């Protein structure tokens, strides 16, 4: 069985080097532009990190596909058995707000499934990494520790992590129905999934269609490597093999023990909200 050790080591190195690029811009009075179509802010940091990561991955793995947020992705991922999905800075709004809660996502999908992931937070030097079926680790100031989601099965005992920038009524409704009373705010999708992977939180919902495969490939691989689950709001997995890059049915990330009970409630609310047509 191929262990993907070389791919993981390379992705970790590239993520840390890209993190230095982000911090270099972070220390300046950078300009902020709005993306076309209301897709949020973009900065010089996004574009420079994107170019660096894409170039480094293509140099290292010339036969693999690379799909990245700030690139022309018209070629799509479907032509490749192996395709890297890159978000050079997930949480650009957090970068703009200077709260440190942004991260680099480098994920590898094989045969359409998220398989390897690296999520790196430059501020605080925290790196999550994992390979599905082979486990994962977090590295930070406290050292290197194995990732493992919690085994909390009772929905009312779950700890919810919510977006700092995009509060959702549907998430509030789900929390109320499940009896969840504990929550934590966090920026990047990858950092939220990292909190689940290290058992600091248990549940995360992204309840709009404003996310893309590069947002969740790396976080999904890290979370699944830690024993967790990431699906759409209907409980179905996303494929990374086709031309569709937008996550039109939102995201549900949860520990495995509570997933079935949570997923049925989430799907019901998502259907009522028209997110599961």
Question: By three-state DSSP, how is residue 93 classified?
Answer: helix
Domains of the chain, by residue range, sit at 4-147, 155-273
Asked whether residue 34 is marked as a ligand-binding residue, the answer is no
Q: Evaluate if residue 37 carries a pLDDT over 70.
A: no
What is the structure's pLDDT at 76? 63
Asked whether residue 215 is marked as a ligand-binding residue, the answer is yes
What is the structure's pLDDT at 129? 98
Asked whether residue 139 is marked as a ligand-binding residue, the answer is no
What is the structure's pLDDT at 210? 86
Q: Give me the CATH code for the 4-147 domain, please.
A: 3.30.540.10
Task: Give the span between the Cα atoms of 163 and 206, in whole angstroms.
Answer: 8
Asked whether residue 232 is marked as a ligand-binding residue, the answer is no
User: Matching CATH topology for 4-147 and 155-273?
Assistant: no
Answer with the residue of higher pLDDT: 187 or 193. Answer: 193
Percent of the chain with pLDDT over 90: 84
Give the model's confidence band at 29: pLDDT under 50 very low, under 70 low, under 90 confident, else very high: very high
Q: Enumerate helices (H) and strands (E) in the chain, giving the number of each.
A: 7, 14
Tens of pLDDT, residue by residue over 66-123, are 999 988 776 566 678 999 999 999 999 999 999 999 999 999 999 999 999 999 999 9
Backbone angles phi, psi at 237, to 5 degrees: -70, 150
Answer with the residue of higher pLDDT: 25 or 38. Answer: 25
Mean of the per-residue pLDDT values of the chain: 94
Task: Give the span between the Cα atoms of 11 and 4, in whole angstroms.
Answer: 11
What is the structure's pLDDT at 277? 74
Rg (alpha carbons) of the chain, rounded to whole number = 17
Q: Give me the CATH code for the 155-273 domain, please.
A: 3.40.190.80
Q: Evaluate if residue 265 carries a pLDDT over 90.
A: yes
């Amino acid at each position: 069985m191929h262990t993907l050790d070389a791919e993981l080591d390379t992705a970790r190195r590239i993520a840390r080097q890209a993190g230095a690029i982000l911090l270099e811009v972070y220390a300046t009075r950078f300009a902020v532009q709005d993306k076309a179509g209301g897709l949020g802010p973009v900065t010089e940091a996004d574009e420079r990190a994107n170019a660096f990561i894409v170039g480094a991955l293509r140099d290292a793995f010339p036969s693999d596909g690379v799909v990245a947020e700030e690139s022309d992705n018209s070629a799509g991922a479907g032509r490749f058995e192996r395709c890297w999905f890159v978000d050079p800075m997930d949480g650009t709004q957090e970068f703009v707000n200077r709260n440190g809660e942004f991260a680099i996502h480098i994920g590898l999908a094989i045969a359409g499934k998220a398989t390897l992931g690296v999520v790196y937070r430059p501020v605080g030097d925290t790196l999550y990494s994992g390979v599905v079926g082979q486990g994962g680790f977090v590295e930070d100031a406290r050292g290197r520790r194995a990732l493992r989601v919690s085994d909390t099965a009772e929905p009312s005992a779950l700890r919810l992590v919510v977006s700092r920038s995009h509060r959702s009524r549907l998430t509030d409704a789900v929390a109320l129905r499940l009896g969840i009373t504990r929550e934590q705010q966090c920026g990047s999708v990858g950092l939220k999934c990292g909190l689940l992977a290290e058992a600091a939180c248990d549940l995360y919902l992204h309840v709009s269609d404003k996310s893309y495969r590069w947002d969740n490939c790396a976080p999904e691989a890290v979370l699944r490597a830690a024993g967790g689950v990431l699906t759409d709001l209907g409980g179905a997995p996303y494929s990374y093999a086709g031309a569709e890059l937008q996550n039109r049915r939102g995201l549900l990330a949860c520990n495995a023990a509570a997933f079935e009970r949570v997923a049925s409630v989430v799907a019901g609310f998502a259907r009522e909200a028209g997110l599961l047509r």
